[in-house]
Structure 1
């Protein structure tokens, strides 16, 4: 019973950490010179900021160099008319902020902000734990690969979790296989890969 309570407490801490990041403040300001000032209140060094078009093509990419507040001006008026997103790829989640360019006028739709929480993969002894928590029901595809010779990974398990908002799963691996494992989780059109070893 104590072990079950420890796992439930660990999951609660993970989910509380993820949900606490969901209210992060962002400001978009269209300036008189036509540029847009983008300001985040709380970023971390190593976060990735991207601008993508409606087809998911990356038009701009920047690695955040300093933790804390981030602000930068962008000239978005030179983009062709269409729909775009700013994407902030953080350690535990991906946040997308849609905007539209129409006749050199830039309009942000804050109501359509989306947040995708990344899955959490951990390993202890010969067990792999996978947890995830998101806003909408979605299908999760989980694949586990075993590193057979240092460069090739062989798939040893695959399954799909249907219509889940949050879930936790554990997988028991072979005790005599102490090499690297790769866990690949796909949902919301994105793939997340983690390497675990014992």
Structure 2
């Protein structure tokens, strides 16, 4: 009889835990701090090929994983072993990067949901001698586009533009024959694309 009661209690506990995890999974991106050493990260709407990284405050990658499945991603991390400091989870999707910052102090991990952010990556498409650049910029961050011609491993700046107070950036460039490098700087992030025309 005692074993039956123990098994029933374990079953109820497992159902409650499962209901809690499912409840968190219905939110968008959520972090669940289990109170122990492990921190579980739950990401919704991921796709195979998305890249999850953990970086320190200098941008050094400490962990990198290519997500293998579509839908819901869950994984436990022991973040208490990291040295005291500021860190960030980055989920890189096709056209956006979601950041989830956290700090470690005296083996205690702290997340602040208000610091989570989404950065939109530029989309660069080449059609013959035309290059199309589009970028969503809802926070109106200053964006710089530089186009370099590459000859014998030397880069020569051919075009530069600083764009301010623009929510949707759309540019078209007609390039001559040759090799080019396009750098787009926005919100302290740099994106580089090479074009062989």
Whichever of the two has the greater Rg, that structure is 2
Farther off after superposition, 24-33 or 103-112: 24-33
1: CA distance, partners of 2:151 / 2:59: 34
* Residue in 1 that maps onto 2:84: 81
Q: How many residues align?
A: 171
**Greater relative contact order structure (CA < 8 Å, 6+ sep):** 1
Instruction: String of CA shifts for 1:2-38, please: whole Å, max 9, x gaps.
Output: xxxxxxxxxxxxxxxxxxxxxx821211224321001
Cα offset, 1:197, TM superposition: 4.4
CA distance in 2, matches of 1:123, 1:59: 34
1:47-66 per-residue CA deviation (whole Å, 9 max, x = no partner) reads 22111222322222222222
Specify every segment of 5 or more residues in structure 1 that has no aligned partner in the other structure, as ranges. 1-23
2:30 corresponds, among 27, 39, 43, to 27
TM-score normalised by length of structure 2: 0.76
Tell me, in whole angstroms, the C-alpha distance in 2 between the residues paired with 1:147 and 1:83: 38
Contact kept in structure 2, 1:122 and 1:196, CA below 8 Å: no
Q: 1:169 to 1:77 in 2, by over 3 A?
A: same
1:138 is paired with a residue of what secondary structure?
A: coil
Please, what is the CA RMSD of the aligned residues?
2.2
TM-score using structure 1 length: 0.76
Secondary structure of 1:136's match?
coil
Which aligned pairs between 1:32-181 and structure 2 lie closer than 5 A? 32-148=35-151, 153-174=155-176, 177=177, 179-181=178-180
Uncovered stretches (5+) of structure 2, i.e. residues with no partner: 1-26
What is the aligned partner in structure 2 of residue 195 from structure 1?
194
